[in-house]
Structure formats: structure tokens, C-alpha cells
Amino acid sequence: MQTIVYILPELFLSVAIMFLLMLGVFIKKSFKLVNLLTILSLIFAIALVFNQPNEIVKIFNESYIIDRLSIFMKVLTLLFCFFVLLSSKDYIKSNNIDKIEYPIIILASTLGMILMISSYDLIIFYLGLELQSLCLYILASFKRDDERSTEAGLKYFVLSALASGLLLYGCSLIYGFTGSTNFEIISANLDEANTGAVFGIVFIIVGLAFKVSAVPFHMWTPDVYEGSPTSVTSFFALVPKIAAISVFIRFMYVPFVNVISQWQTIIIFLSIASMILGAVAAIGQSNIKRLMAYSSIGHMGYALAGIATGTNSGIQSTIIYLTIYLVMNLGAFGCIFMMKRENVFYENINDLSGLSKNHPMIALSFLIILFSLAGIPPLAGFFAKFYVFMAVIEMKMYTLAIIGLVTTVVSAFYYLRVIKIIYFDKPKKPFEAHYDWGLKISLIVSSILILIYFIYPSILVDTISSILIY
């Protein structure tokens, strides 16, 4: 009975998915009701996660862990899933993708991510990963009559299946050479002389790098971001990143902590390559969703830099970075959802011409978000990068820090280009001024948080500083 208390959020989400599915089948045209109940389910699940005991608990034969890292990451996952559903209501309706399956699949995907976050065993982790991935395949190609969406879904399916296969192969190698799937037993049985297991680690890193869209496993990101419906793109850009980074931290610092010298160089390479490509490739983009895709690759590079340090402060800086990045991305996609004219959603950057003249408040929000993404002080994005660079410099990884700073300057160029188009180009026909209240809330919340973060940074920093991995 005691065990059930610890898995109440997961149980509740499982029951909610089954109930909503039956409701959607039995009641015709019930999308609004199912969507509302999904949003309420997410709020209730957040309350259940908050209610979990603030101690390290391992259940199911030590294959599932509840600790501060898992609680924080679960809250982030559920919270941003809630905001994605809230901000994309108008888009879903306008694009005729208001089918009951849509919120249910998002909920099922979120359940998979929560399982991944708390996994302390290779089998549990893989089950969570597959539940998440299967749902994401469907979401990417949800707009069935759209060629781009179908293509995006197919690309994601093929490449993600390949990554999952490599990950599974890596897991089987680890199991074969250490004799267990439990993280702690793997850690006890793993040493640098175990060459087979080190190969397994490489395969696992490749699979995880794909999930966070780190270079050179990023190839799916721009196409899937551009081709998928924008509501799905915002989900892709926000929620799966949390689970992937959480698993990255858990894998690297629990089972593989004894062989840190073997994998540290790989993570540094992934980080540097992602930062460089994210900064350079975004310069020539004309589609705002492709720009956000390359921006996300670059930002994942900074997040991985914190993981590469091999210290608790590095991990904490990654979690802070991820949290602030999610808030910025939520705001950016909020602005993209507002690019609507005569019931058509626009995606070209040039469509933002003269936005400041027609919609000064949206232009101001966009300005704040883009400056923050570029890392301009005193906005939240500056502090996110500052914490990561401090952790990197602390470990005397100067090359990584210098490359990070240079790429920050380069990436500022394409953010400033968008700002130039918004404020100085000739105005185009105004966008529609009637926005959904959920979209307004998402945009206002993210803009205010980015602006006022420097006043009370300690709220986030103190919360995360209690998260210790080892």
C-alpha cells in the first residue's frame, strides 16, 4: 500500500487516459470536453507530484526512484505540457486537428516521460521511452491531409526508431557485461577495464543525443519542427527535452559515474558541435519554426556543457538552464501562434515586418524573449548561460567556455535580425487581434518571468541547489 502512494501521479494519469479515451468514443464531438479534462488532469497530477515525500525512495526492487530530481523534473514536464495545451487551443481549432485523440496522445506521451524521469533500471527506462516515442510519431504526422506533416512524421519515425534500436543495443551490452539492469548494481560492476560495457555507454549516449537533438544526431529536428503542426512543434520543443536531459543526468551520474573519463570527452564534443551548428545554421533561415529548431540545437549544446563538467554544480546549472530555456521557448511559440491573418497561420520571418507598428505589445514580448534567448543581461537567458559557464570555468574547461561565449555572440546575430524585421521593416497587413485567453496567459507569464528573474533569482537557484545526484 505504501508503494502506491509513491506512484499516485503515474496511476492517476494512466486512469485519466483510459477514461478520456472512453469518453471521447461514447460522446460525439467531445473535443472541447476532453481537452478541458486533460488540462485539469495535468493540474491534479502536478498537485499529486508536489504531495510526494521529500526523501529518496526506491521502489519495485529498486527499479523506480522518487527523489528531488525526479519530483522537480516531473513538475516541469506536467507544467509545460499544461501550458502547451493552453496556448494552442485556437491553433488546433483553426487547423481542423481538434480530434479527441490529440490531447489523449499528449497525455500518454507525458506519462512515458514521467516514467523515464523516475526510472532506475534499464527496462523501466526503455518502456517509458517507447511509450513517449510512439505518441510523438503520431503527433508529428497528426495533420493527415498535409504532405509536410506526413513527411515530418515519417522522418521522425524512421530516425527515432534507429536511435531507439541503438539505445536498446547499448542497454543489452551493459546488461551482458555487468549482469544487471539496475543502475546501482551496474555502477558497482562497471570499471574502465570493461571494454564491452564502455561500447554500450557509447550506444546509449548516441540514442540520448538523438532525443535531445544534439549534433551530429540533430538531422530530424529542422524538418520535423517545420513540417509538424505548430502546436505539435511547441510540444516537441518544450516537453520531451525535460525527460531527455533528466535521463542524461541520471545515466551519466549513477550507473556510469565510475567511468567518467570514458564518456566526458563525448559529451564535450556533442556540446561544442551543437553550440556551433545551432549558431551558424540558423543565420540563413527564413522559416521561424526552422529557426527555432536550430536555436533549440544550440541551446541543448549549452545544457550538455553543464553535464560534461562531472560535478553537482554543473548538473544544477544544466537544470537551471533548462528551466529558463523552457520559459523562453514557451513565450516564443506564444508569439508564433499569434501570427494569424484571415484564419491562416504564417511561419515566414518576413511576415513579422513592422509588427511593432501594428501590434506593439506582441512586438515587445517578442523583443524580450529574443533578447533573452540571445543571452542579453539582465534578462533570464543571460543568467542561464552565466551559471553554465561558471560551472565549466570552475572545472578549468576553458576551451568549452570560450567556444560557448563565441557561439553566443554569433547566435545573437540571427535573433537581432528578427528584431530588426519587427521594428524597422515596412509594416505588412496586421495580424488578427483576437487571441485566445490561454495564449495570452502563456505569453504574459513567460515575458514577466524573463523580465523579473534578476530581481529574485534565488527562488529557482535555492530550489535546484538541493538537488544532489551523487
Q: What is the DSSP string of 171-182?
A: HHHHHHHHS-SB
Report whether pLDDT(298) > 70. yes
Residue 39 near residue 437 (C-beta atoms within 8 A): no
Report whether pLDDT(397) > 70. yes
- Taking the C-alpha atoms of residue 250 and residue 231, their distance in angstroms, rounded to an integer, is 29
pLDDT tens-digit map of 346-362: 888 888 888 888 888 88
- The amino acid at 62: E
Which range is least confidently modeled, 6-20, 191-205, 210-224?
A: 191-205
Cell (9 digits) for 319: 537544470
Helix runs in 281-397, H state only: 288-308, 312-337, 355-358, 360-374, 380-394
Report whether pLDDT(74) > 90. yes
pLDDT of residue 87: 87
Burial of 262 (0-12, 13-18, 19+ CB in 10 A): middle
Q: Cell 472541447 identifies what position?
A: 32
- Taking the C-alpha atoms of residue 121 and residue 185, their distance in angstroms, rounded to an integer, is 10
360 Cβ contact partners less than 8 Å away, ≥ 6 residues apart: none
**Cα torsion angle, 189, 194, 200, 205, sign:** positive
Closest C-alpha among 352, 336, 156, 340 to residue 236? 156
Report whether pLDDT(405) > 80. yes
pLDDT tens-digit map of 186-212: 888 887 767 888 888 899 999 999 988
Neighbours of 339 (CB within 10 A): 21
Domain ranges for the chain, please list them.
2-465
Report whether pLDDT(52) > 70. yes
Residue 408 near residue 373 (C-beta atoms within 8 A): no
